[in-house]
Amino acid sequence: MTDLRQVSVIIPTYNRASYLQICLNALAALRTDPAIFEIVIVDNNSTDNTQSLVLAFAQAHPDLGVHYLLETNQGLSYARNRAVREANGEFLCFLDDDAPPSPEWLNIILKGFCDPSVGCIGGPALLDYQGQERPPWLKGDLQGLLSGYELPYNKPAVISKVAEFPFGCNMAFRKKVFSEVGLFRTNLDRCGDQVLAAGDTEMIGRVHKAGWKVLYLPQAQVRHLVAPERLKKEYIYRIGKGLATTHILLTADPRPHMILRWFASDLWYTSQMLWGFLIALILRKPLWFDDYMRLWMVASRIPFRFKMLFRGMSTPSQRQSKVVIGE
């Protein structure tokens, strides 16, 4: 894949052709000179019409420099890593296939990278329910489980708190940071229908730890389209379970005293959240389901901690090799 464009817009995708079409149409409408960016679609074993859709789009928009890659190793992190290796741009801008950007999105991100100390940039991901009625129980922090992201800053802000790090549906990096910190951890984030998470957060944490600034740009917006099946409690439970498993992976430490520490921490937080949930339930607070999900996500980690503490449990490797990026 040879192209001399300055920016690579990367979209990993898996069986979501209808949403991908919307995202590609938004990229075609960007108010950015098409000569400076390429579009890299990484198909992670889709069985729908993703390939034919991308090829048709590329034929209809030859000026956009569309590249189609098939990544056969299943998993979002594998798809992202494939793009990091093969993309040509100095800047790598990641979108989800259901996150169409605003017309000025790329221009705003490129202005942010004018500061040479900035290694990562993110912007809001505004939930778009596509005319669907939001369930009355879907309030508060639960909307974050749908990957809605917006910080309370109305101007560019350098961020350092993990809780404020950008989401993977709208994040950008200097390509050279991957040579310093390595690739995305392949035991994190979605893999087919498995809903693990935090590959984006863990990567941005490494970039920040390496001394690069993480910049939030409130005008670099994408819409995050909410599919109908994601407005059901069954999906929220799946996400909650995935986040619990993700937390186990992120805090995995074979040393007995560290396992005991996390086990005790989860027990303590569960007891505190249980009281909060019971009070919310008794008082019939409108956010009681939000409190319940908080409780459930922490409590569901306890069986894993128990097995690690008393029986021993192997967890996927946390090591991540460095990658040599071509010039």
Q: What ranges make up the beta strands (E) of the chain?
A: 7-13, 37-43, 66-70, 91-95, 118-122, 125-128, 157-159, 170-174, 213-216, 222-225
Residues 73 and 147 in one domain: yes
Residues 124 and 266 in one domain: no
CB 120 within 8 A of CB 166: yes
Of 132-136, 189-193, 283-287, 317-321, minimum mean pLDDT range: 317-321
Residues 243 and 188 in one domain: no
Cα 174 to the center of its chain, rounded Å: 17
Q: What ranges make up the beta strands (E) of 154-290?
A: 157-159, 170-174, 213-216, 222-225
Domain boundary among 183, 202, 229: 229
**153 part of a folded domain:** yes
Residues 176 and 217 in one domain: yes
Residues 70 and 219 in one domain: yes
Average pLDDT over residues 101-119: 98
Which pLDDT band holds residue 4 (cuts at 50, 70, 90)?
A: low
Could you tell me the residue range of the domain that residue 293 belongs to?
A: 233-310
Evaluate if residue 274 carries a pLDDT over 60. yes
- Could you give the CA distance from residue 184 to residue 310 in angstroms, rounded to a whole number? 31
C-alpha distances in Å from residue 204, one per residue of 71, 83, 150, 176, 240: 23, 17, 17, 14, 22
Of 132-141, 196-205, 282-291, minimum mean pLDDT range: 282-291
Evaluate if residue 214 carries a pLDDT over 90. yes
Evaluate if residue 212 carries a pLDDT over 80. yes
Evaluate if residue 198 carries a pLDDT over 70. yes
- Could you give the CA distance from residue 125 to residue 131 in angstroms, rounded to a whole number? 17
**244 part of a folded domain:** yes
Residues 80 and 144 in one domain: yes
For the chain, give the mean pLDDT: 87
Domain boundary among 229, 246, 265: 229
**136 part of a folded domain:** yes
Residues 102 and 217 in one domain: yes
- The CATH number for 138's domain is 3.90.550.10
Residues 182 and 248 in one domain: no
Residues 171 and 206 in one domain: yes
Residues 206 and 258 in one domain: no
Residues 20 and 164 in one domain: yes
The DSSP secondary structure of 282-302, one letter per residue, reads HTT-TTHHHHHHHHHHHHTTH
Give, in degrees to the nearest 5, the angle at Cα 138 between 137 and 140.
105
- Report residue 80 as tokens: 């992202």
Q: Mind listing the pLDDT tens digit for each residue in 17-54?
A: 999 999 999 999 999 999 999 999 999 999 999 999 99
Which pLDDT band holds residue 325 (cuts at 50, 70, 90)?
A: very low
80: Cα within 13 Å, side-chain hemisphere:
29
Evaluate if residue 232 carries a pLDDT over 90. no
SS3 call for 189: coil
Report the predicted TM-score, pTM, of the whole model to 2 decimal places: 0.83
Percentage of the chain lying above the pLDDT 70 cut: 90
**59 part of a folded domain:** yes
Could you give the number of structural domains in the chain? 2
**194 part of a folded domain:** yes
**316 part of a folded domain:** no
Domain boundary among 181, 205, 229: 229
Average pLDDT over residues 291-320: 68
Sign of the C-alpha dihedral computed for residues 48, 125, 5 and 79 taken in this order: negative
- Could you give the CA distance from residue 277 to residue 288 in angstroms, rounded to a whole number? 6
**261 part of a folded domain:** yes
**146 part of a folded domain:** yes
Q: What pLDDT score does 323 carry?
A: 44
Q: What pLDDT score does 122 carry?
A: 98
Evaluate if residue 223 carries a pLDDT over 90. yes
**Amino acid identity for residue 170 in this structure:** N
Which pLDDT band holds residue 241 (cuts at 50, 70, 90)?
A: confident
Evaluate if residue 187 carries a pLDDT over 80. yes
Residues 280 and 171 in one domain: no
Cα 244 to the center of its chain, rounded Å: 16
Of 98-102, 200-204, 246-250, minimum mean pLDDT range: 246-250
Percentage of the chain lying above the pLDDT 90 cut: 57
